[in-house]
Amino acid sequence: MIFTQAGLEQATRLTVAARHAQRFAEAGVRHVADLGCGLGADAMALASLDITVTAVEMDETTAACAMMNLIPFRNATVVHSDATTVALDGVDGVWLDPARRTTSTSGTKRLWDPEDFSPPLSFVESLAAAGLAVGVKMGPGMPHDSVPKDCEAQWVSVGGDVTEVALWFNAVRRPGIRRAALLLGPGGAAELTSAEDFDGGPAAPVGPVEGYLYEPDGAIIRAGLVADVALQLGGHLVDEHIAYICAPELRDTPLPGRTRCWT
């Protein structure tokens, strides 16, 4: 692949891009517009599953890099255009990776307000309201109150590094799942899901530091699923505001992240 510094900072890891593409394939989506395709990692994953891809990128240099990266895929086309104005005729799915950084002579700077992204979150919601199968990659620190009500939010961790939260709408949203944490590591994948909104879900007891101390993976914490893990382990929280769990037994599970014996 050909890279730029700014594009590499936001590029999707190929293992994660493959899971994005799988969502669209399993939903029966045949033509995806990758709006804000960057260097084309997600477009490559989509095209490798025989999905027709229209990859749109506003930055001329980045679009040129994406075109070079997508040369092996005859079912992928790169368009140098504004993602918010390109025609979506014949498209039944949309993937977006909004630019969350600004670039200046002094380097890049991260943006935090979803409405400052390019394109903004409100544009994403308008595509979903039109009935398209929509997925969007957001920064993992996205506040829960900024997550739209009508989507599934899946936080993704790769080797313990929380890389993103993906929001899924309509046909690519899984039934009965509001929030999820997906952990990808050398041993494979593990996922914890919940149908409850962020202000719901089970409550775990609080108790002393004893037995085995578990530190949940960052994706579990971001998804608000620490109490769920505590109950799975038959344990309790050290404090209701701190993401540490104590349990009487050592359990072989990838969800907590790190474990140590306290006694």
Give pLDDT, residue 251: 82
Cα 76–81–83 angle (5° rounding)?
A: 85
- pTM score, whole prediction: 0.91
Residue ranges of alpha helices (H) inside 73-184 are 121-129
Give pLDDT, residue 119: 86
**Interval 98-136: pLDDT, tens:** 876 665 555 556 666 777 777 889 999 999 999 999 999
> Spelled out in words, what is the top-level CATH class assigned to the domain 5-138?
alpha beta
Give pLDDT, residue 216: 92
The full set of domain ranges for the chain reads: 5-138, 212-261
Give pLDDT, residue 11: 82
The dihedral formed by the CA atoms of 99, 105, 109 and 115, expressed in degrees to the nearest 10: -50
Give pLDDT, residue 105: 55
Give pLDDT, residue 116: 74
Residues in the chain with pLDDT < 70? 100-112, 254-263
**Interval 211-245: pLDDT, tens:** 999 999 999 999 999 999 999 999 999 999 999 99
Q: For all residues of the chain together, what is the average pLDDT? A: 91
Q: Using CA atoms, how far apart are residues 223 and 137, in angstroms rounded to an integer?
A: 15
Give pLDDT, residue 117: 79
Q: Using CA atoms, how far apart are residues 44 and 78, in angstroms rounded to an integer?
A: 11
